[in-house]
């Protein structure tokens, strides 16, 4: 059987959240062909995944055309799509009806506000009879050579190093810079090694040299093996860290952690009672696109609500203490 999975939501984190469904679909049809249609930035995460037979890329603003081409060229027996904008869900349904095949075109149907998105996908697919439960967490597959390179790249860092990921593609997801600096000082005062990844440096903290996405994933995995912890906002790289097994703490503000949180990791929720948050329609929130918070003139009130002490406590709780080698 040939299965086509369409994930064109655009975010790296969106692709990470669909990984468990890919692996469940492969388990349901181990001898079949599983093709993924997605965008280029995140596609590299699938490069060494034995569940994926092939990857097709869609160009931004040409997603519907890419779906139509994939359907015509592949004639899949089953199509699963996370993506419905621009009529893509209807295109998938119409193609399946015309050819007498299967389609699961709405993984966003009637979502409860307190069920993790990736788990929701899996439960819907199980209800449709195309995968089996139980639900599983995301996993990014790394090769032995990549893991070795990650260990070499982080060998100079002490065991138990905390790796900070302060950057975010959206301003509404950024914890204040002053908090990151204060967190770094607090962790250093506890004797922890601290480093930063990304293009938003923190004064007095070493920034790791840049690498590609798979190289970054390998560094996350290597630090996790030595008792390290990754800390960042609700972003794709932080989800990748959790998906390669690194202990991870994630900071959630505009998104609700019980819906968008990490399956494996510590989730900190800022300002849970925000009256403007829309857990099942986040892109319609008043703050979403321009970080204009109606409750604060200085930045998102939800992230300002997360104190440094709470984040430091989450790091301590996430740390596999038996493997920390401070000094």
pLDDT tens column, 54-71 = 999 999 999 999 999 999
> Do the Cβ atoms of 193 and 158 come closer than 8 Å?
yes
The sign of the CA dihedral 250, 303, 16, 163 is negative
Q: What b/e readout covers 232-270, taking b as 16+ CB neighbours within 10 angstroms? A: bbbbbbbbbbbbbbbbbbbbbbbbbbbbbbbbebbbbbb
Could you give the maximum distance between any two Cα atoms of the chain, in Å? 65
Give pLDDT tens digits for 124-163: 999 999 999 999 999 999 999 999 999 999 999 999 999 9
Whole-number Å distance between alpha carbons of 171 and 289: 8
The pTM score is 0.94
Whole-number Å distance between alpha carbons of 173 and 1: 41
Cα–Cα distance list, 194 to 28, 129, 178, 248, 319 (Å): 42, 46, 16, 14, 13
Topology of 154-323 in CATH?
Answer: Rossmann fold (3.40.50)
- Token output for 241: 């860290």
Q: What is the pLDDT along the chain (327 residues), one digit of tens a residue?
A: 999 999 999 899 999 999 999 999 999 999 999 999 999 989 999 999 999 999 999 999 999 999 999 999 999 999 999 999 999 999 999 999 999 999 999 999 999 999 999 999 999 999 999 999 999 999 999 999 999 999 999 999 999 999 999 999 999 999 999 999 999 999 999 999 999 999 999 999 999 999 999 999 999 999 999 999 999 999 999 999 999 999 999 999 999 999 999 999 999 999 999 999 999 999 999 999 999 999 999 989 999 999 999 999 999 999 986 444 433
* Three-state DSSP state, 249: strand
- Following DSSP, what letter does each residue of 126-169 receive, concatenated? HHTTSS-SSP--------HHHHHHHHHHTTTSPTTPEEEE---S
- Following DSSP, what letter does each residue of 161-191 receive, concatenated? PEEEE---SSGGGPPPHHHHHHHHHHHHHTT
Topology of 2-127 in CATH?
Answer: Rossmann fold (3.40.50)
Q: What b/e readout covers 110-140, taking b as 16+ CB neighbours within 10 angstroms? A: eeeeeebbbbbbbebbbeeebbeeebbbbbb
- Token output for 41: 């930035």
**Pairing outcome for strands 248-252 and 229-233:** parallel
> Do the Cβ atoms of 78 and 24 come closer than 8 Å?
no
In the chain, beta strands by DSSP E: 2-6, 33-38, 54-57, 78-81, 102-104, 162-165, 194-196, 206-207, 229-233, 248-252, 266-269
* Three-state DSSP state, 306: coil
Whole-number Å distance between alpha carbons of 43 and 22: 13
User: CATH 3.40.50.2000 occupies which residues in the chain?
Assistant: 2-127, 154-323
- Token output for 265: 């990791």
């Amino acid at each position: 059987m040939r299965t086509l999975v369409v994930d064109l939501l655009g975010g790296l984190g969106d692709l990470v959240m669909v990984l468990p469904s890919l692996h469940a679909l492969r388990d349901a049809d181990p001898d079949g062909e599983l093709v993924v249609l997605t965008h280029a930035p995140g596609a590299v995460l699938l490069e060494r995944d034995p569940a994926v037979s092939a990857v097709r890329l869609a160009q931004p603003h040409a997603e519907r055309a890419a779906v139509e081409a994939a359907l015509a060229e592949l004639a899949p027996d089953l199509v699963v799509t996370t993506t419905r904008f621009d009529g893509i869900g209807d295109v998938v349904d119409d193609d399946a009806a015309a050819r007498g095949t299967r389609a699961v075109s709405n993984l966003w149907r009637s979502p409860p506000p307190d069920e993790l998105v990736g788990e929701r996908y899996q439960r819907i697919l199980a209800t449709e009879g195309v995968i089996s439960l139980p639900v599983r967490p995301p996993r990014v597959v790394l090769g032995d050579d990549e893991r070795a390179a990650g260990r070499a790249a982080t060998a100079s860092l002490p065991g138990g190093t905390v790796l900070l990921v302060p950057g975010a593609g959206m301003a509404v997801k950024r914890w204040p810079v002053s908090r990151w600096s204060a967190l770094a000082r607090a962790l250093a005062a506890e004797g922890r090694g601290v480093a930063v990844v990304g293009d938003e440096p923190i004064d007095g903290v070493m920034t790791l040299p840049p690498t590609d996405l798979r190289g970054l994933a390998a560094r996350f995995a290597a630090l996790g093996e030595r008792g390290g912890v990754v800390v960042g906002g609700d972003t794709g790289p932080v989800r990748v860290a959790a998906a390669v097994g690194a202990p991870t703490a994630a900071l959630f503000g505009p998104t609700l952690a019980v819906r968008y949180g990490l399956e494996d990791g510590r989730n900190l929720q800022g300002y849970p009672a925000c009256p403007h948050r829309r857990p099942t329609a986040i892109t319609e929130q008043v703050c979403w696109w321009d970080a204009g918070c109606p409750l604060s003139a200085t930045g998102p009130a939800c992230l300002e609500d997360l104190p440094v002490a709470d984040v430091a406590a989450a790091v301590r709780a996430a740390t596999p203490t038996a493997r920390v080698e401070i000094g």
